[in-house]
Chain A
């Protein structure tokens, strides 16, 4: 941020006027990092509230004060309040309830749902879990074959490296996704799988018909976790995407976390994390950083904040 803000040094009580220009610089910085304007403005307002009336320390510039304040706001926003350990949650369910743990993946078209699902599968296999992948995108051409290839690749990998077991559950195209999901979960229970990973069709968040079918889907599949994939490339639409999907599963159920895919395509412009978390308060569980199975990461908040502030 350096250089953008007017530097006032030492022992001054800050007024709204002192902050006006530097705040604008800070907002522009966030916008350039692909943070939605709504979130950028809110964050800046928070920083401004905190700083007005504050006295700068000796040799402390407005610049430093702002940086510290923004950086801690971002850190607070992006740091999850509950533990996100997926493996712990899975073991809890499989041991105490003797049933498979169910994860469904949702999101708009082309963001990387099926690929993220496969990466997640790879991660779980490495932890020696047995997986059933349920092909519940019964709409998009090639969706079933795409998962079949992933399931086959993952199986080969697992066999070679003695990892967990993986199988594909599919009923072709055209059929109702919610029913296939329910049947897959039942099949997994009968065949002692630890985890069911359910892929779903991409849908626009403003398509009322497709969005409303998610409620029935959640009712029948009863997922333990619903993860939404959002891509790092998306702009302001991220806010509405996150809110709409969070609201789509009925009054009792929301999203449990985000996977932000395609982080490797945006460099420092990782603002989508801020936009989506800000819009919903739901944590980011994983980041996608490439097109290969190993390209899934947990979030390092310090890193992300560093990119945003650079």
Chain B
């Protein structure tokens, strides 16, 4: 599972330190080093790790802790706070409203899991009483419409797309207009994979966005992504201003640190996690319980209030 390894390593670095008989500055530096190694192994952005190191050092300020203060608690809290800061942008992802059309557009890198996830999300809302549907605005990838069609059919969700059109903005606009007229409440628009190095692809994304004016744009990110996460997610943010992230493939072994770096770089909340290839493999995400679970510290929630 995502971040489990990371959690274990950070946790043991902290408790090794706090259990050690001479809790001196050298041991403290050792702990920070261990934590940074764990974060790097988890694909957290290198620069982010460097600033996190400085931040923990500054907050704890080891040399000047008065002897009366509980060092263990102070250190634990500092680490916990820094991690929460990483995954908690203090922004709420968008909540769709019943009785009106909510247009949601998916964007992301090639192969991230957009098409798979848009059916999962449509189904998620469908079972919560929203009248949901799918629009395929990927006119580029071979078999893209067939893929969406087959998934939608399995999930019994109405869909729209074109086998012949090569203009994704037009297909998207047509689909959205049709479903709005039919009073659908959740209209999810799937788009092709793209990346920041190809300007044409980013322009196309802008064109689709202006054609359908989505209420929410969601960036889909693969949990295995490495050091490119920050640059790509920032570029998508600048161009498409997405309001939520979905991390996919969290059933794999990857630690998801790249995706977390994207959250930190764009101050955008993770709304859901994809946990498998099947329709029901989607989970909601909330940062604080996630980090406490990650650190395996039942009592950390209490620490936050202090």
Asked if B222 contacts A233 (CB within 8 A), the reply is yes
CB-nearest residue of chain A relative to B1? A206
User: Contact: A204 with B227, CB < 8 Å?
Assistant: no
Taking a contact as CB atoms closer than 8 A, the residue among B140, B225, B277 that contacts A233 in the complex is B225
Q: Are B41 and A236 in contact (CB under 8 A)?
A: yes
Report A259 CB to chain B, min CB distance, Å.
Answer: 14
- Give the size range of A's interface with the partner: 35 or more
Q: Are A140 and B228 in contact (CB under 8 A)?
A: no
Range, interface on chain B: 35 or more
Closest to B251 in A: A204
Contact B142 A146 (CB under 8 A): yes
CB–CB B142/A150 < 8 A: yes
- B133 interface residue (CB < 8 Å to A): no
Pairwise interchain contact B253-A206, C-beta atoms closer than 8 A: yes
Collect the chain A residues with CB atoms within 8 Å of residue B231's CB: 267
Task: Known A37-B41, A233-B228, A265-B228; judge A142-B253 contact (CB<8 A).
Answer: no
The residue from A114, A139, A146, A265 contacting B195, defined by CB atoms under 8 A apart: A265
Q: Are A110 and B195 in contact (CB under 8 A)?
A: no
* Cβ 8 A contact of A235, one of B37, B154, B258: B258
For A142-158 the 0/1 string (1 means CB < 8 A from B) is: 11111111100100000
Whether B226 lies near A142 (C-beta < 8 A) is no
CB proximity to A under 8 Å, residues B216-253: 222, 224-229, 231-232, 249, 251-253
Asked if A141 and B146 make an inter-chain contact with CB atoms under 8 angstroms apart, the answer reads yes
A222 to B102 CA separation, bound complex (whole angstroms): 51
Most chain A beta carbons < 10 A, residue from B195, B229, B252:
B252
Identify which of A114, A234, A265 contacts B224 (C-beta below 8 A): A234
Q: Say yes or no: B222 contacts A110, CB within 8 Å.
A: yes
Q: Does A224 contact B (CB under 8 A)?
A: no
Query: Is A205 an interface position by the 8 A CB rule?
Result: yes
B144 at the interface (CB under 8 A from A): yes
Collect the chain A residues with CB atoms within 8 Å of residue B42's CB: 236
Residue A18 interfacial (CB < 8 Å): no
Question: What sequence of 0s and 1s flags, for each residue 201-213 of chain B, a beta carbon within 8 Å of any chain A beta carbon?
Answer: 0000000000000
Whether A235 and B226, one on each chain, are in contact in the complex, defined by CB atoms closer than 8 angstroms, is yes
Asked, given contacts A109-B277, A140-B277, A142-B144, whether A237 binds B228 with beta carbons under 8 Å apart, the answer is no
Q: Which residues of A in the span 263-310 have a Cβ within 8 Å of any Cβ on B?
A: 264-267, 269, 271-272, 291
A28 at the interface (CB under 8 A from B): yes
Subset of 13 A-B contacts with CB under 8 Å: A36-B41, A140-B277, A142-B149, A145-B142, A147-B143, A206-B252, A233-B225, A233-B228, A235-B254, A236-B43, A237-B43, A237-B224, A240-B253
Given contacts A142-B147, A206-B252, 14 further A-B contacts (CB under 8 A): A31-B227, A34-B226, A111-B111, A141-B150, A146-B142, A149-B143, A204-B252, A232-B228, A233-B222, A233-B226, A265-B110, A265-B195, A265-B197, A267-B231
